[in-house]
Amino acid sequence: MTEQNENRRRLDILLAAPRGFCAGVDRAIQIVEQALERHGAPIYVRHEIVHNKFVVDSLRAKGAIFVDELDEVPANAHVVFSAHGVPKSVPEDAQNRGLAYFDATCPLVSKVHRQAERQVEAGRHILFVGHKGHPEVIGTFGQVASGAMTLVETEEDAEKVEVADPENLAFLTQTTLSVDDTAEIVATLQRRFPAIVGPKGEDICYATSNRQAAVKAIAGRCDLVIVIGAPNSSNSLRLVEVAERAGTPARLVQRAEEIDFNWLDGVTTLGITAGASAPEVLVRQFISRISERFEVREDQVVTAEESITFKLPRELAAAADPA
């Protein structure tokens, strides 16, 4: 065994930090866990609570039942809405059916919802920068009347979009977008519509920005970047794009078992990060798998410290407090 270890090729790993869970994801998972503890299984969850199969499977094992729509939830049950946010019609439907619900919408997404309402109340049409079909986009559009918002996905869209009243216009963005791509789209909108009103602060959340900055910091030093995250996770996909934009090949994987060791041919320095919905245990499992074949040396590159936490809903906070 000693001889085999000595013959293993060395592989340097640069771990991006921050990586993995953000405060909104952590809060959403706690909401499901505390609802289970307080009310017992089953607790129904509308859509994936966060975009990560490991997390969803772990909660399912504890008694969570994931459904696509509320009509799959039986009467008098408890239901949790996902971290991505939902249209106003969803809690209204839950109330009409007498369902007890907990809203796990990330507070930073809720902030965008409130901004959308305020801009429409001020008489402005909203150009919303985001990805069609993403749950967060669907939820945000569902905060205002139909026709009050127009989706802008690309810089080309920003060049072509037509509005009825350029003097009464606002823009908002999905929280999990590419910082660089969004800046270009917003710049185009501001050039075309000088009177357009933007949010007071960036809509792209701190965790998305921090994880992209961390990948930028390591990508130039790596031969390959691995992003641990789900294929339907917007922020994870953006991390792949950030690495590739820096000129470094990148791969998205969900679990350690998905690694193809052929990817590591010729790789001497490997970058690793994780999307905001991916727990650290998946990172450790991935590195453990690689260590079976390589002599691994880890180095963590820290570009920001995160200390943000979000409070649980009042009705669950007491259950979570051991005091």
Count of C-beta atoms within a 10 Å radius of residue 9: 10
- What is the Cα–Cα distance from 46 to 41, expressed in whole angstroms? 15
136 flagged as catalytic: yes
Count of C-beta atoms within a 10 Å radius of residue 303: 16
- What is the Cα–Cα distance from 297 to 147, expressed in whole angstroms? 54
Closest CA to 78 of 107, 102, 96: 102
- What is the Cα–Cα distance from 115 to 146, expressed in whole angstroms? 16
Question: Phi-psi bin for 168: left (phi > 0), alpha (psi -120 to 50), beta?
Answer: beta
Indicate the DSSP class of residue 246: T
Contact 228/218 with Cβ under 8 angstroms?
A: no
- What is the Cα–Cα distance from 135 to 239, expressed in whole angstroms? 19
Specify the length of the chain in residues. Answer: 323
Count of C-beta atoms within a 10 Å radius of residue 209: 16
Contact 65/35 with Cβ under 8 angstroms?
A: no
- Which of 37, 117, 121, 136 is the catalytic position? 136
- What is the Cα–Cα distance from 137 to 148, expressed in whole angstroms? 13
Closest CA to 21 of 52, 47, 42: 52
Beta bridge partners of 300: 15
Q: Is the peptide bond before 18 cis (omega within 30 degrees of 0)?
A: yes
The residue type found at 129 is V
- What is the Cα–Cα distance from 74 to 53, expressed in whole angstroms? 24
Active-site annotation, residues: 136
